[in-house]
A and B are shown apart, each in its own frame.
Chain A
Amino acid sequence: MASAPTSKYNSHSLENESIKRTSRDGINRDPAEAVPRLPGETRITDKEVIYICPFNGPIKGRVYITNYRLYLRSLETDSALILDVPLGVISRIEKMGGATSRGENSYGLDITCKDMRNLRFALKQEGHSRRDMFEILTRYAFPLAHSLPIFAFLNEEKFNVDGWTVYNPVEEYRRQGLPNHHWRITFINKCYGLCDTYPALLVVPFRATDEDLKRVATFRSRNRIPVLSWIHPENKTVIVRCSQPLVGMSGKRNKDDEKYLDVIRETNRQISKLTIYDARPSVNAVANKATGGGYESDDAYHNTELLFLDIHNIHVMRESLKKVKDIVYPNVEESHWLSSLESTHWLEHIKLVLTGAIQVADKVSSGKSSVLVHCSDGWDRTAQLTSLAMLMLDSFYRSIEGFEILVQKEWISFGHKFASRIGHGDKNHADADRSPIFLQFIDCVWQMSKQFPTAFEFNERFLITILDHLYSCRFGTFLYNCESAREKQKVTERTVSLWSLINSNKDTFKNPFYTKEINRVLYPVASMRHLELWVNYYIRWNPRIKQQQPNPVEQRYMELLALRDEYIKRLEELQLANSAKLSDPSTSPSSPSQMLPHVQTHF
């Protein structure tokens, strides 16, 4: 007892984990039958391996590989461990140990995943079993390198709702009250001729002609001109997004761009200035001049106020998350947990992103000033800032469908480079384009939902499901870098949308706390004191960290809600029955005693 490590105390939680002690009383059904399979999923191979579980030691199991997933089932009687990993999650496959390797379980594969874990399998040295598994995994986890289709194109799942219809830009802008006499909808980008990474449909100032837009495009990085993201329903101030101006070392100016910003400013008569939020640290903005970029200078852009938000670039975020993984997987840092966490700077980055979004939201809502947001290309930090600010300002986006629309609009349609940032089906794990920008956004949303437990219609599972399918390649939602590429690949015709899955099981993703509120602006506290590491996501693989399973509060809530609904329904039925009798004298002979048993059978 004296030597019992503290972690043993939680051994109870293991029983709630995937490792369940079961008594299968020796009946061996065909195990392959029980391997889940999606329509369109095909079995490739299966193999006996040793899964080197970082928490419970080596476990003998059989691994099944399909064109979608790696599925492992324990072959040991006292462990019912199951691993179910979509191949899309894999970022890297390495061989460990060589022909001369000694020691137990030192020969096999080490698989690095995008979702904060690694999987290690030990294999027998004889019979090329490792080479086979390596080749098959490489082939199906990285289909791009083998001219194979991504699984989303093979998936034949059917849902009773079509997630692709969730977002309709015209409808969404109409919801915002657009077009109006200051803002118009333009189809100038219908064939992605103006800007190949923007959506086809854009909202621009009424007074700016399509010719103006074309001229402005020449002065904005990758032609990403300032366009409207959101308009305040009352004070009509707007959030406009774009990329950096192409100022360069020589300090170039562009009259059309300057005029265009002035036109945007003039759509709001309450404040004589347009506020520009440059998401970058000011040094980076200056440094960008060297590569032709830059920022709006005071002398060129009168009546604007430029503020830098100090958010770092994709490379800094990638390294920060790497450090988070180092301290949580496989073993969590114990002795100096908080200072280790601090040294990853992850929460600090979260804080800066949230602080930036709060400033944008506050400027629009209380400052009554229109704002323009950009970073360098306007598809990473800009998307974070506009979408988070919109989430704070507009309660519509806090509903399940509203949030889907927000992601679809600010991220997917406006060309956040999901393919480059995530590397779907790409074997090049060290690509400098990879970065957890979208994850960071979801983390910020989670932080907000923690601080406002009643404000969001969705729960934590919703956010985690989105993140899981960000990598899984089961749905087409997050594939490709921009709308034009998606259109070319006919993604909406050939793949299923993640929102189909979610919207056909909405109850699972609902937050029972949710109280619908209109027009309430949420300002989360972005102080480090109030931010916490999202343990249920980042450390979810560690059975020792888990708490009661599954989220008991939610579960109990759901029970209560269901009970309440049930009772209310019964109550209404009773009242209805009563009033029916009141109004219809022909049924009056029925006595209470006759009616009661009839009603009671329901209970």
Chain B
Amino acid sequence: MEFSELIRTGRAQAELLRGPEAPPLRGTLCVTGHHLLLSPGPQATPDLWLLLLRSVDSIEKRVAGDSGTITLRCKDLRVLQLDIEGVEATLDIARSIEALSSLESVITSYPFYHRPKGLRLGDAWHFHPPERYYKRVARETTAWRLSEVNEDFSLCPSYPRAVIVPRAVGDDALARSARFRQGGRFPVLSYHHAPSGTVLLRSSQPLTGPQKRRCAEDEELLRAVLEGAPPGTRGFIVDTRSAQTAKHARLTGGGTEAKAAYPGWKRLHRPLERGRPLQESFVRLVEACGDLEQSMDRWLSRLEGCRWLAHVKEALSTACLAAQGMEREGACILVHGAEGMDSTLLVTSLAQLILDPLSRTMAGFQELVEREWIQAGHPFQLRCAHSAFSHARPKHEAPTFLLFLDCVWQLGRQFPLSLEFGEGLLLALFEHAYASPFGTFLCNSEKERCLCEVRTRTHSLWSVLNQPKEQRKLRNPLYVLNPLAIWPSVEPQSLRLWQGLFLRWIHPSEPSEVAWEKVWQIVTDKEKTEGSQPMVSASEPQP
């Protein structure tokens, strides 16, 4: 296999330091095609320490005397230090890790080799096909149909093969609308809010350009949306850019819906930061969290200066706006920014969590991530190529998905009983989005996943997460179904730094884990005693 060319050295003696909590680990270090292994010898526990090379974000080497030190900063924000015997060995290992951790080819990545025990390939991939969500919509309304116009991904390379569109609009019209939208992302249904009969749609910006072009089919599509809703329903277009930016976009062929062309629709601008500024905010925050030497008197203003919590606030309030539009005003909502693959998805997915109790269940949330992020074409491979430690100039990296997870965490903190899953699931999703032995977050779109045969040749993260032994870590023991919308408070006083993620490796989270375990005990004890009643009555004295 070609990895062997990149591996400069077989093995070396090393000591691994894993932060303040874990004791150092000493043993034989070894680089393989996908992993860094440290084997402390047969007597030690654990007998093997393993790190996926993909999860290394940056690597720093130092040599002194006849030994060296490698500092690995991982995508999950962990910082590891390896003290290695031998200067040559250190440099070789560092070079090997550098080369192997930055391989770009998808089909040689580890998920294509990972074959965990007890799982069958292709098991869980079919949990969430577009048909499944459509079935739910079809039970609620007949105004929508499932179109396979994008079956070969030719209309829109970033959409899945099937999308939900107004029944009254034919595939030809969709094709024309697609040509009028950036990247072919014509308006499609994201969520049907049954109680009000309104819908949430998403798309990319219309290509009006400097000439203010129009597209009759695109207009027809949005008209059909309102006609499919209860009579008199209005529409709101939530543009995630400022009015200014949207206007400027015309110069480069983009733009925004002209008022006159879309009767019944009103445009609102709610600027959300994306791309570079968001990535920089993430980098600054991680830097601030890891800076233990800096005098702490300025921590709060530094935290504020990172602007991360401001992004959380903006994302949540825009999602509230969209959700409020549907639930309180009975209006249809179309969300888009420019490409419609980042902040658009942030808004539509959060709005659903606020409104839809089903999306707050364990299965529903997985379905939401699959449908609104993975299949909706959030370019995970580009956005999560690097995390906060990379020295490389960010190209397409942006922590949009992490921002989403953070917002969900804030919802969970404010409504501790309303989400069926806990922080554990959010942490797992963060880790796996950036580096994973599973195929779920590979590639940028369904089209690419199809080409790489991801669904048949890798295992799905969902199969692992849904194994019974994982549940205690991932589920919220206090969950009770809350049929209402959960309106978060978005005041800065109500938002918190997500310590469980950003300070996870800096400060032991043990006390909160103890508490978590305690809740589980209470809950399961209760169930156990419940479950054992019949047993007791059955164990009657034998004559």
Indicate, yes or no, whether A interacts with B: yes
- B324 contacts the other chain (Cβ, under 8 Å)? yes
- In angstroms, Cα B538 to Cα A595, docked, is 11
**CB contact under 8 A between A581 and B296, given known A10-B487, A571-B533:** no
State whether A530 touches B507 (Cβ < 8 A): yes
Distance of A545 from chain B, by nearest CB (Å): 5
Q: Which of B296, B491, B514 contacts A351 (CB 8 A)?
A: B296
List chain B residues, Cβ under 8 A from A462: none
**CB contact under 8 A between A575 and B289, given known A1-B331, A9-B324, A532-B496:** no
**CB contact under 8 A between A6 and B523, given known A1-B325, A575-B536:** no
**CB contact under 8 A between A582 and B541, given known A4-B324, A337-B493:** yes
Interface size for A (C-beta < 8 A) is 68
Interface-located stretch among A236-244, A450-458, A482-490: A450-458
Which residues 519-549 of A have a CB within 8 angstroms of B?
A: 525, 527-530, 532-533, 535, 539, 544-548
* Interface hub of A513, A546, A575, A588 (most chain B Cβ within 10 A): A513
Complex: chain B residue closest to A589, CB-CB:
B543
State whether B491 touches A334 (Cβ < 8 A): yes
Distance of B95 from chain A, by nearest CB (Å): 36
Interface size for B (C-beta < 8 A) is 63
State whether B526 touches A567 (Cβ < 8 A): yes
Q: Which of B415, B522, B532, B541 contacts A571 (CB 8 A)?
A: B532
Contact with A along B522-543 (1 / 0, CB 8 A): 1101100110110011111101
Complex: chain A residue closest to B309, CB-CB:
A338
Which residues 557-599 of A have a CB within 8 angstroms of B?
A: 557, 560-561, 563-564, 567-568, 570-571, 574-575, 578, 581-582, 588, 591-592, 595-596, 599
List chain B residues, Cβ under 8 A from A582: 541
State whether B296 touches A342 (Cβ < 8 A): no
**CB contact under 8 A between A529 and B537, given known A547-B489, A556-B417, A588-B543:** no
State whether A2 touches B268 (Cβ < 8 A): yes
- B300 contacts the other chain (Cβ, under 8 Å)? yes
- A13 contacts the other chain (Cβ, under 8 Å)? yes
**CB contact under 8 A between A557 and B478, given known A2-B266, A6-B320:** yes
- In angstroms, Cα B542 to Cα A578, docked, is 11
List chain B residues, Cβ under 8 A from A527: 296, 299, 507
- In angstroms, Cα B533 to Cα A455, docked, is 32
- In angstroms, Cα B488 to Cα A339, docked, is 23
- B303 contacts the other chain (Cβ, under 8 Å)? yes
List chain A residues, Cβ under 8 A from B325: 1
Contact with B along A1-15 (1 / 0, CB 8 A): 110101111111100
Contact with B along A339-359 (1 / 0, CB 8 A): 101100001100100000000
State whether A581 touches B515 (Cβ < 8 A): no
Distance of A117 from chain B, by nearest CB (Å): 16
List chain B residues, Cβ under 8 A from A6: 317, 320, 490
Distance of A30 from chain B, by nearest CB (Å): 36
Complex: chain B residue closest to A563, CB-CB:
B526
Complex: chain B residue closest to A512, CB-CB:
B522
* Interface hub of B331, B499, B529 (most chain A Cβ within 10 A): B529
Distance of B531 from chain A, by nearest CB (Å): 10
Q: Which residues of B come within 8 Å of A, CB atoms?
A: 236, 266, 268, 289, 296-301, 303-304, 309, 317, 320-321, 324-325, 328-329, 331, 414-417, 478, 480, 485, 487-494, 496-497, 499, 503, 506-507, 511-512, 514-515, 518-519, 522-523, 525-526, 529-530, 532-533, 536-541, 543
Q: Which residues of A come within 8 Å of B, CB atoms?
A: 1-2, 4, 6-13, 328, 332, 334, 336-339, 341-342, 347-348, 351, 451-455, 512-513, 515, 525, 527-530, 532-533, 535, 539, 544-548, 552-553, 556-557, 560-561, 563-564, 567-568, 570-571, 574-575, 578, 581-582, 588, 591-592, 595-596, 599
List 14 A-B pairs, Cβ < 8 Å: A9-B490, A338-B301, A338-B304, A339-B301, A455-B511, A515-B514, A529-B507, A548-B415, A560-B522, A574-B537, A592-B538, A595-B537, A595-B540, A599-B537
